[in-house]
Amino acid sequence: MIRVDIENERMEKASDLKRSFADVHSRISQVEKKMNELNDEASLLIEELSNLRQTEMDFIKDLSQEYGPGKLDPFEMKWIKED
C-alpha cells in the first residue's frame, strides 16, 4: 500500500468535514433528547387531562344529585335545570 501526503488545503477541507459531521451528529442527539423529554411531558399532560375529565364528570354527577338533572353553564357558573 502506498501512502500519499495530502496537501494542506485538502487536509483543512477534510478536517472541516469531520467537524461538520460531528456537529450535525451532536445536534441530532440534542434534538432526540428534547423530543424524548417532550414525549414524556405530553404523556403526563394527557394523564392529567384524563384525571381532570373524570373529576369534572364526578362534579357534574354531584350537582345533578343535589339540584336535579341539568347542566353547568361554565361562563356564568350556574346550574341550568332540565325541564
What pTM was computed for the model? 0.66
> Residue 23: inside a domain, yes or no?
yes
> Residue 31: inside a domain, yes or no?
yes
pLDDT of residue 3: 80
> Residue 73: inside a domain, yes or no?
yes
Q: Please give the residue range of the domain that contains residue 23.
A: 10-81
> Residue 2: inside a domain, yes or no?
no
Q: Could you report the per-residue pLDDT of 40-55, keeping only the tens digit for each?
A: 999 999 999 999 999 9
Alpha-carbon distance of 47 to 51, in angstroms, equals 6
**By the 8 A CB rule, do 10 and 16 touch?**
no
Cα Rg of the chain, angstroms: 31
As for how many domains the chain has, the answer is 1
* Residue 79: closest CA among 56, 57, 63: 63
Q: Is the dihedral of CA 45, 76, 56, 82 positive or negative?
A: negative
Q: Could you report the per-residue pLDDT of 26-83, keeping only the tens digit for each?
A: 999 999 999 999 999 999 999 999 999 999 999 999 999 999 999 999 999 999 998 7
> Residue 4: inside a domain, yes or no?
no
**By the 8 A CB rule, do 72 and 61 touch?**
no
> Residue 52: inside a domain, yes or no?
yes
**By the 8 A CB rule, do 82 and 69 touch?**
yes
